[in-house]
Each structure stands twice: as structure tokens, then as C-alpha cells.
Amino acid sequence: MTTVTGTKTITNTAAAVFAGSSVLASRVFLYVRNLDDCVAILINGRIVEPGEEIKLKLKASESVTIMGQSTGRAVQALVQEVAQ
């Protein structure tokens, strides 16, 4: 298993969310933690409040784009991807 962890800036324009410089191939897990103290973010349309996290299980055989968007100003998020 391969794990990549990074901090990403989530803006109010929807964009793909991934931990490294590109999406990890054959990923099976994506973890996103909102590091901001007052602005929520959306991960694939789900609200992640400040300080909260979302964990998504993925199928390695399917290429899925996970989108992120801030509900206000740009915020930092901790992102971790795990691939087979």
C-alpha cells in the first residue's frame, strides 16, 4: 500500500482534491480534514465543518474525481490518499 499526505488550499472554485502533485493511481481511501477554524468546505457536495474530517472509501478499479470547494475564503485542508 502507498500513502501520500499533504496540505492543500481549498478555494471557493471547485477543484479536484488529492494529497500529492497529482491523484494517486488505484487509490482506495481518501481522508480530508478541514484545518480552518471558521469556514466550512464541501467535499463532493458534503459539508465538512471547521476542524471536522471526512473519510471516503474508493474502489481501486474506478477512477473517481473528488471535488473540493470552500464556502467562503480559501482554507487549508489536510489530505491523505491510500492506494493499493
pLDDT for 44: 95
- Domains of the chain and any CATH numbers: 2-83 (2.60.120)
21-33 tens-digit pLDDT: 999 999 999 999 9
**Complete DSSP assignment for 6-27:** EEEEE-SS-EE--SSSSPPTTE
Q: What is the pTM of this model?
A: 0.93
16-75 tens-digit pLDDT: 999 999 999 999 999 999 999 999 999 999 999 999 999 999 999 999 999 999 999 999
How open is the CA angle 64-75-9, to the nearest 5 degrees?
50
Q: Report the half-sphere exposure of 30 (CA within 13 A, side-chain side).
A: 24
- Strand stretches in 1-84, DSSP E: 2-10, 15-16, 27-34, 41-43, 46-48, 53-57, 67-70, 75-83
